[in-house]
Amino acid sequence: MKITIVMLLLTALTACSVQLAVPAQSDVDRISTKYPGYTLAELNGGKTLFQHTCNRCHKLKNPMSRNEKKWDKIVPKMIGKLNKKEGKVVIDEKQQDSILRYIITMNSAK
């Protein structure tokens, strides 16, 4: 009985958190035609920003959950919402681009 409860709790916990893939050099290499000069450090920076920004109003969405065309529209829209809500620029254009690049890069893994 106790074991069932523990297992239920574990299932609920895993369901809540998005399992994000660990960025690797191969991700950077794959996207190098689209983002020349892009580095693993920049990709990781984008991931950190994504994790701290995109869970402020709802749970993190998985980069794999939508295609590139959708993300190109969604990310600026979300950052617009955030900056408007806070009444100041919380995430500037450079940071927005960093988040978008992270999402698009991970999204391109098949």
Binding region for ligand HEC (CB under 6 A):
53-54, 56-58, 61, 66, 74-75, 78-79, 81-82, 85, 99
By beta-carbon proximity to ligand HEC, the closer residue of 29 and 85 is 85
Minimum distance, C-beta of residue 15 to ligand HEC, in the bound complex (Å): 17
Query: Which among 91, 102, 84, 9 has a CA at the least distance from the CA of 48?
Result: 102
By beta-carbon proximity to ligand HEC, the closer residue of 10 and 57 is 57
Minimum distance, C-beta of residue 76 to ligand HEC, in the bound complex (Å): 9
Rounded alpha-carbon distances, angstroms, from residue 26 to 41, 82, 90, 105: 13, 32, 31, 10
Minimum distance, C-beta of residue 99 to ligand HEC, in the bound complex (Å): 5
CA 8 to chain centroid, in Å, comes to: 27
